[in-house]
Amino acid sequence: MSLGLGYWNLVQESVTQNKAVGFEEVGAVNQCCDGIQFCLEPALASGAMWSADEIAELCYLHYRTRLPKQGKPDPDREWTSLAAVVKVESSTQREVLASPGNLQVTKEVVAMGTGTKCIGQNKMRKTDTTIGRHCRKFEDEKCKPGDILNDSHAEIVAKRSFQRYLLHQMWLAASHQQCSIFIPGTETGKWKLKPNTIFVFFSSHTPCGDASIIPISEPENQLSKPVTGDDAAGQSERRSNHDHLGPEDKRKSEKTASNHIIKRMKTDDDGYFSVIPEDLTVQQVSVKREDDTNPKSCECSADMQTANKETGLGRPKVVDVYRTGAKCVPGELGDARIPGLGYHCVGLLRVKPGRGDRTCSMSCSDKLARWNVLGCQGALLMHFLQYPVYLSAIVVGKCPYSQEAMRRAIVERCQHISFLPDGFVPQEVKLLQSDLRFEHSRQAIQEVQTNSKTKLVPCSAAISWSAVPEQPLDVTSDGFRQGTTKKRIGSHQSRSKICKVELFHTFQKLVTSISQEDLPDTLRMKTLETYWDYKEAALNYQEAWKVLRSQALLGWVKNATEYLHFT
């Protein structure tokens, strides 16, 4: 393999400098990469052949031109978040050999989602266990579990839309159509991703949860700018978290927003520093040190304050932390909630805030960390895959952002995992930020509506789009297709194309389209009925998930089986 890497470096240098690549070098790379068409994944994944701004620009263009007005926010009073999956393909070996100095890379949006909402646990639909697996009205599907979209944050909508795309691509592969992204694996019924293809995840904002807990920095030439209530609530989160603050926090937040009160932050050596706005007097707010602070909270606070040590106390840059509305999972270590830098504790699992009752949906930071080990395909598709489908890079649009926080939340929490089943490996996903802002982000709308007295609210709708031939577009609200009346809830027409039931039915159609002898071992001659049955039968995926939970994601909130027993 060292020979192959040596030749790879030669080829990569040639590509970078637009030099011709010889047949001998290509042959050696090919041979040393176990028959792979052409070993271009390192350059593709590294971003050497594409940029963060190119990915962002492509996604914004797709949003403007391919998504309808329905489901988009009213720019006079609403904002939303955007996420997408972009397929990046390099030239195949044959194309490189035909034109050695002209390496082509194509980028295509294959899945997209918008949204900011998440339903509470009370709205989740489950089997009535008092009378068996199905509820009393199962005949007319009024109580069918799996038919509601629980989590409509943009990242999750995009990922589920991506799973819909992968299911279609798997059907193309099983139908022996060359346009699929999958090629046959070494095991019966198994497939793998083409070697010249990678996927880049784009989000217009920092993922909610741990990745959003980042220092608020004041550029030296803008020290006069106050930290407003909006800033303290967390620009990077943008999930209406003010509604989920305690009474005292709400009072402080509102007072800060209206009076531009500036906090004096306490430093490690008991000194103070102030951020002084122009034409405003400084109101001194001392930071109380609590003796009963838990060890991890102290550790987190010290970590944040390290930044102040590095910038010097004379002209501080870090004045607070962006807040996340995501709540620590029940029964686990909680936030210290100390005003200022020690408010949050980092590295913890969190659930998204709901409108009223608590949700069962883990934060987007937590889910991205999970995908970085288990892949984005989910348990069902893993039946057909030799290796998980991983993201090679994550690009975030222009917004409050911290490379350290992103890496901590998505990569480092699960980096130490060991004894995973074959094929599952914690990824070193590339993390990048674009300088391009999403036109319907909260910050962008706020800037346009500076003088407006209208209260800005998150858009209630979510849009799902997949690169599939039939009904690629889906607009939902409150978990069901937009426009669904109360009477129609539970009907086939009310379901989103990316809810559990619909994705499961697409998977079942895929299974039935393949002959028994061509099915993978996990599906051959098995009596599997429910969604739960098929998920549990994906043995390697379930083993990997068990290892991940036990070693890194302890406390993960799992849905009870009554939410998953449906056909």
The set of catalytic residues is 155
Contact between 19 and 42 under an 8 Å Cβ cutoff? The reply is: no
Distances (CA, A) of 132 to 127, 475, 566: 8, 33, 11
Determine how β-strand 78-79 pairs with β-strand 457-458.
parallel
**CA atoms of 214 and 541, how far apart (whole Å):** 32
**CA atoms of 531 and 428, how far apart (whole Å):** 31
Half-sphere exposure of 58 (CA within 13 A, CB side): 22
**CA atoms of 102 and 91, how far apart (whole Å):** 9
Half-sphere exposure of 483 (CA within 13 A, CB side): 5
**CA atoms of 131 and 122, how far apart (whole Å):** 20
The runs of H, that is alpha helices, within 268-363 are 295-311
| Helices vs. strands in the chain: H and E counts, helices first | 16, 20
Sign of CA dihedral 327, 331, 333, 338: positive
Half-sphere exposure of 263 (CA within 13 A, CB side): 26
Distances (CA, A) of 366 to 190, 308, 373: 29, 28, 11
- Show the tokens assigned to 245: 């603050």
- Show the tokens assigned to 272: 């103070």
| Residue 269 burial (10 A CB sphere; 0-12, 13-18, 19+) | exposed
**CA atoms of 209 and 368, how far apart (whole Å):** 11
**CA atoms of 351 and 341, how far apart (whole Å):** 21
Sign of CA dihedral 50, 52, 54, 55: positive
Three-class secondary structure of residue 410 per DSSP: helix
For the chain, how long is the longest CA-to-CA vector? 78
**CA atoms of 420 and 541, how far apart (whole Å):** 10
Query: Cα-flanking dihedrals φ and ψ of residue 458, to 5°?
Result: -70, 145
Strand spans (E) along 204-311: 215-217, 264-266, 272-274
Three-class secondary structure of residue 78 per DSSP: strand
